[in-house]
Structure 1
Amino acid sequence: MDYLSLSCMITAILSLTLGAFVYYRGRKSIINLSFALMSLSIFVWSFGVSREIVAQNIQIGLFWNRFLYIGAISIPVFFLHFVLSLLNLHVAKRRLLVVAYLITLIFWVLDFTPLFVKGVVPKGSFNYASEPGLVYPFFLAFFFLCVSYSHYSMIKVYHTSSGLKRNQIKYLLVATLIAFFGGATNFLLVFSLIKTPPLGNYFVSIYTLILAYAIVKHRLMDIGIVIKKGATYAFLIIFLLIPSLVLTVFAQKHFFGSINYPFSFIILALFVLATFIFPKFKPGTEKTIEQLLFKGKYDYKKTLSDLSKAMISILDKDTLLAKIINTTTEAMQVEKASILLLNEDKGYYRMQSSRGLDKVKEKEFQLISSGPLIIWLREKGEIVVKEELERSPDKLNIPDMATFLKRLNDMESEVCIPLITRQKLIGIYNIGKKMNGNMFSHEDLAMLETLGNQAAVAIENARLYEDLKKSEAQMRRADRLAALGTLTAGLAHEIRNPLVAIKTFTQLLPERFDDIEFRDHFLKVTSGEVDRICSLVNELLEFARPSEPNFHEDDINDVAEKIILLVDNEAKKKDIKINREYDKKIPPIMIDKEQIKQVLLNLFLNAIEATSENGIITFETGLIHKNNHRDYVQIKIHDTGEGISEDDLEQIFTPFFTTKDKGSGLGLSISHKIVEEHMGYIEVESKVGNGSTFYVYLPLTPDRNNSFARKNLPVVNKTRGNYSATDSHR
């Protein structure tokens, strides 16, 4: 009898634990809530049974009997609700559920009257068991109707389902059939159909194990990997805590001659509480102890942890390498450190950054890819500690140990960390001796290994960003050359005309040398034409010459006039007139002159190409205050061309998008990028047949370090045929 009471208590605790975890991981889910309520009902019933069968008098026996039926009455309706929710039938079967809950409510009320249970009497080897009342058979019918209909619904859906859903239903069917078969043996005892204890109660515990397995293996209730921890705790309770409880019970029996079940339950509850609380408090306790007793170690771990987070946001490779080395050496009190990176073109690893090493050595030092150290790091991917290697040279089974150690000594490396990403050794991180002479602990090495993995990803990202910037620079260069190619033919004609005039004057000069008026006119004309040629050639050379980004204060009107000088001949070919309206009040602004020239040249060439003969292009500059509370210089280029269709309008800043027969589709994309780097933006107004207007906005006082300002650029309403380049990048 004692064993049956113990098994009921185990079932109660397992059900309560599993139900609590499911509810905690999905409080808003009706599936999780109904399952948790069903588990709570099983807990109430199991715990009540465990107390009733060992009650010492009829009053206590009757109390626990009424208590256990609160759970027993609730089990069928919550099980029905859980199954219908899992099968997505709870909405369609809403009326059925309402009726079931009303009947359950009635039985709850009757539970505390003799109509449900007349009393408790000794039955078989039980101290006390239920004596059924008048309505008890109706409860029994209700119980089996709910359970039968639930299983019928599961079987019906099982035959039409497949995959994961089918497996979920299968495990739930097996678990609940076992549970209800075992629990139903209690009804045989109630009606005195058996005199032996209802041994089926032992099977109810198996139900929780099958459900825990289904939750983990087949994502029952879809509560994810976190419930795996819950199921793990449930298994730990079974295989660790329950044996402890059994030992406690036997100890009571051996030392005191009797078993106190409330005391046993309290002990088990304390075990469960300790199981859950210990993992929660462990990290905080370790952190507090480290702060109080090992402050230096805590500080360096925190510093390295912060470094891991900071590395993600650093895209400049040199800055990143310096950050890694400086932070690590200062945090771990290390004298020397270095990082070697792979040069794929030349097939060797070259030292890219260092601290504490000779700068000459840094520039010259390199390791070939076929060397023993590189081969071993590439194949094994493990940290090498020189001190351990010297103590146990045979441990790592390295063929050429002498060369291996020599390379470590050459780099003054005590710890060599491979930098691996995507199964590729992209570099090596070397750390020298600690200043205090201490060896590197296992904890240090674990921290460095994690840091090495994260550093490898960050370095690879920085390298990809560097390649992207190079590609972007090449595209800009190609775009500039394409624009120059467009201008070349016209500029050749522009230069040839002044040269013809100069040649004519020089041919006539010997004959009319004594004519003072002719000489003065000759000097004035030729000087002017030579200046014009020089201006054109210088502007061409300056525009074509590769240059690094260089921000200086410049007069935007002067920059624009130089570009108009270059495109003027292209416009004349189509008899297009360029009208200028400069705002003389605009102060010099901080720009990269050559990049802004490229923007204006692209916009002018597009306008000329789009405008038919005898058209007009209007160029205006001015000051404007936008609704993001910033002052801008507005550059406006309006043409009387054919306009841009609404479908094309939203794509014109997309790389490689073009409507021309010949064209790269990069001009406007690059122009937008340049303006964005100036903390500005571009807007377009266009309607087919009415021409286009491009607005370039450059801030009077750009703040290139202000990411908030970059994100809060004005947005233009597209519904009126307008488009903002900032929209396409949101």
Structure 2
Amino acid sequence: VFPQINKNISTKPLYLLCAGSVLFIILSFTSLIQESVQITEIGLRPVLGSWYLLFAVYEGIGMIYCLWFLYKKWKLSNNKYEQLQVKFNFFGFLIATSIALIGTVILPMFNISAMIYLGPTVTVVIIGFTTYTIVRYRLFDITIIVKKTAIYTLLTGSVTAVLLLGVLLAERIFRMFMGHQTFFFSAVFAALLVTFIFLPLREKIQTLVDKMFGKKKYEYQRVLKQMGRELSRVLPLPRLLKYILKNITDTMGIDGGVIYLREANKFKVKSLLGNFSNKSIALSKNDSLIVWMTQKKDAVIKDEWERISEDKQFQDMKNSLGKIGADLAMPIIREDILTGIIFLKNKSSGDMFTEEDIDLLLTLANHAGVAIENARLYTQVEQAKLYQENILKNLANAVIVTDEEDKIRIFNEKAQQMTGISASLAIGKNYKKILPDEFSQAIVDVEEFGKGFSSYEIEYIRDKKKADADKVKPMILGVGTAVIKGKNNRINGVILVLADLTEIRTLERQLNRAEELATVGTLAAGMAHEIKNPLVAINTFFELLPQKYDDSEFRNEFSASACEEVKKIDDLIHRLLNFAQPKSPNFTLNHIHKCIDENLKFMSTKLNSYGIKIIKKYAPDIPENYIDKTRFDEILLNLLLNAIEVMENGGKLYITTSYEKTENGRQILLKIQDTGIGIPAENLSRVFDPFFTTKDNGTGLGLAIVYRAVIDHGGNIAVESEAGKGTTFLIYLPIFLKAYSHKFLTVKP
């Protein structure tokens, strides 16, 4: 109902004016405002009281404030239609109040009372302007005038009755207890009584009049308000949009409606009810209607734009409504952004949309904006959940996720197949009571160390009783774990991923067997060459021995030479056995820096004799690690000997360690860099092959043994070199805080 309160205009003065009204109502019962009335030749003339000047000032301030209030609303309004409404009422009120203020307030102060009768008469001016605004610019529904008149009439009568009863009651009480009348205190008591009952009384009268003058309208307002509350429930989006349209159109008796929602840079039809000629029209973000609603965030009524302006923007807006076939557009606002529009046809009854209707629909549209956003989020969550379930279902790996209470939250299909436990039995249960010990231990390790592990394997037998009877081979599972962390770095759960590597390891064994057979051929060829030379020397001595047996010098030389050649053969066979049939690693907790220092100390004499300077650069944050001490020493000694042989004239040997985090976990990088003669590019790919050597007295097994030892540690080794500039060996070793098994996954450099 006009005028709507503008939030940019302070309403505090209104409260002061209301307080003044209450005061002067009370004072009107005294002689302070008007003492009496005199009969003169031209009629009645009021005899003014001592407070009349104060009353006149109050009247003037009140009327000026009301005019200022209307003026500000006129200028601050962004709605052209509303500006016209306010403008006509402003001028009507200005004319009426000016005449009334001069004739009934100011002139009586100068003993001129001839125009005192104009006060009530000029109200016709206000009524005339207001009536014109109602008819021409639909200020409000005419039924609202009747309703408001009834409300204020009943409210005024009720307040007056309460005020009089309060005064009479107070007078009787004071006379009973004090023996005399006290009119002032009686009036104060009555005013306080009115203050306490005014708001509840107004609400009761409002409800009563609504039911009397528009029961049907009252019902649909009640239904729409109830609908706004129910929209808070999350519903699937299509169903929600249909629910909104059906309730609005059915309740208000509207011929049809359509809801547009934003998609990228366009607004598209998402739900439609009723007969619309163009059901697929889309509105771009640059459409005049969209631009206006984005800026103003207010309703657009087709009839209003047809009446007030020939401006191109308004004509374009009217055309947009016409193309859609709608008569009313309501913006759906979410977080100050236009997310959609509800378009409605006119009412079937032919009645216009009132201000109450618009306010109610705008409120409902705001509720709808929240509900639509919730429905969209609900749909996204449902789609994400379905997407996640499909991924987990089709994964080749078992995925098990636990929460901070150690309860299983995700248990995919592969996990069910691997364990023989159904998801319905596992989800929501404590993993320690459900999962096999091998799986539970993997999660316990993560909780214990506060980090995930992703580079080890375990052997798992699903049915151990059957395995004992039938000698079933165990499954080989690759284990990967990760931590789910929340606020304050607190562990909120663990992700366990299990990959069945049984077939892969079987294929690897077959491949290794083929490689071993190839190696046997290489070893055989190498042994034939390496053993043949000592045997030729021994054979020559044996052929000459019968002829020179009496030659003691020859026998002594033969004996020493034969022993030396046999020792060469024995050493060669020993190294071949170490390479071809290495012992299983024995992992113990050691620090590689300590191991390096021990080997450097052991080789210090030889290093110094060749003039080789050692330069160490150790990373300070490297922890102890599980390694095979004997095999690791073998790696270091072979690489140190190799460096000595390529730096016969001295040089520098750099030994560097660093600590790295990779996608497979944490690892140590050990660099051993010499400044020797380097390795030609064509030989780099063969340096780790058995029996490959460029040295005159080399066997070609040193680097092959180093390579095998690094692989047995679950690591990897690479070489970088350039002829004449030296060689760098890079050894990658995984870090394990616990000795799981020697079956480590290989770390990639």
TM-score band, normalised by shorter chain: 0.3 to 0.5
Larger relative helix fraction? 1
Larger relative strand fraction? 2
Say which one has the larger Rg.
2
TM-score (norm 2): 0.35
